[in-house]
Amino acid sequence: MASPQPPQYRVRDGDTAVDRDAVLAVWRGNLGQDARMAAKYDWFYRDAPAGAPLLQLLMHAGTASPVGVCAAGRRRMLRDGDTLRAGVLVDLAVTPEHRTLGPALILQQGLFAAGQRELDLLYGFPNPKAAPVFKRIGYRLLAEMVRHVRVVRHAPYLQRRFAKLPGIAAAPLGALIDLGHRLRDAWRHPRARRLRARWQTQAPDIDALWQASPKPAALTAQRDAAHLRWRFDAAPAVDGIAPFRHLLLCEAEVAAAWFATRTDGHTLHVHDFWSRDGAEPAPDIVCALLRAARAQGHAAVSIELATSEARLRPWHALGFEARSRRPVFGLIRGASDAPADLHLTSADEDE
């Protein structure tokens, strides 16, 4: 009887302090600009306040160096007041000569097993076409990440929506619609006028706001000043993408809410936020966000959320509409098959 052949591929645990060069070699040409990826490694893999990511390396029997890598960046999360160890799936890369489903699946199965050993929650945002692969590994659909948009300047929207509408007509018509929306929002949410907007290039110290605010029972990231400075201020710049700007809303010099934002064309995208009301800001806070965006010249405000319908109410009350959605897959230790209660924003991804 012929002896069994040794496996062609195996997965081993990586060490972020030792395997930097090996990881960068696999990333090279696969995950963006090489210089920036080196900066990302130092930021995301060495300096994260929640600790070094879980790192998995794919080894091939015929080579001494890894031929694939993937990781789970650690996140500190809360659920019902308890601290959980979470990880977000990031940076899957396999060298071209090994880029088939088999090696990538082995690599992801290794990370899945490592996550089961070390984490309470492992989650990711795969391309919808990859959903069958994630289900095969053992992940389940936890929620949908939904992008919501509210138009605040209607002239550009009218010109895109109605191609035959001349610009000379779109401008006054858009201004009239804008005025109607502003008057309606001001009448419905008069407390918004008490909130003063302050734009900053660095994350504000929101520790007092975070500590005093109610926390949802849902799985949600801890948002202290150290995390914000790392997540937004220390993140490597991306060519062609605007840096983060922070909007602090204050009432009588006391912080009422904070938003981490980026500009994409004429749209202000909210990557993260927190308020004195916790994850469900009062409508007057959302109204003040819209007013601040309009004053900065933005045509629309968008936000991506995987959260409950209850926590979406203030956004819907101010006219935000769902535009697109993508799945969130994951593994929650000890969870049933019932729908998961999550509160995730764009900041809960890796960049």
pLDDT digits (tens, 9 = 90+) for 121-133: 999 998 888 888 8
According to the CATH classification, is domain 146-348 in 3.40.50?
Answer: no
Give the model's pLDDT for residue 3. Answer: 44
9-124 shares its CATH topology with 146-348: yes
> From start to end of the chain, where are the E strands?
9-13, 54-60, 68-79, 82-94, 121-124, 140-151, 196-200, 219-221, 245-251, 254-264, 267-275, 300-306, 321-332, 342-345
CA neighbor of 290 nearest in space, from 323, 249, 255, 250 = 249
Tell me the β-bridge partners of 70: 56
Q: What is the pLDDT of residue 132?
A: 87
The Cβ of residue 119 has, within 10 Å, a number of other Cβ atoms equal to 21
CB–CB of 243/104 below 8 Å?
Answer: no
Q: What angle do CA 236, 146, 274 make, to 5 degrees?
A: 60
Q: CA torsion angle for 215, 220, 224, 229 (degrees, to 10)?
A: -150
Length of the chain measured in residues: 351
β 121-124/82-94 pair status: parallel
**Mean pLDDT throughout 35-54?**
93
The CATH fold assigned to 9-124 is: Aminopeptidase (3.40.630)
Specify which residues 143 forms β-bridges with.
328
Taking 80 as the threshold, does the pLDDT of residue 161 lie above it?
A: no
Given a contact cutoff of 8 angstroms between Cβ atoms, the answer to whether 174 and 153 are in contact is yes
- Compute the distance between CA of residue 250 and CA of residue 287 in angstroms, rounded to an integer: 13
Predicted TM-score (pTM) of the model is 0.91
Over the stretch 71-109, which tens digit does the pLDDT of each residue have? 999 999 999 889 999 999 999 999 988 888 888 999 999
> What ranges do the domains of the chain cover?
9-124, 146-348
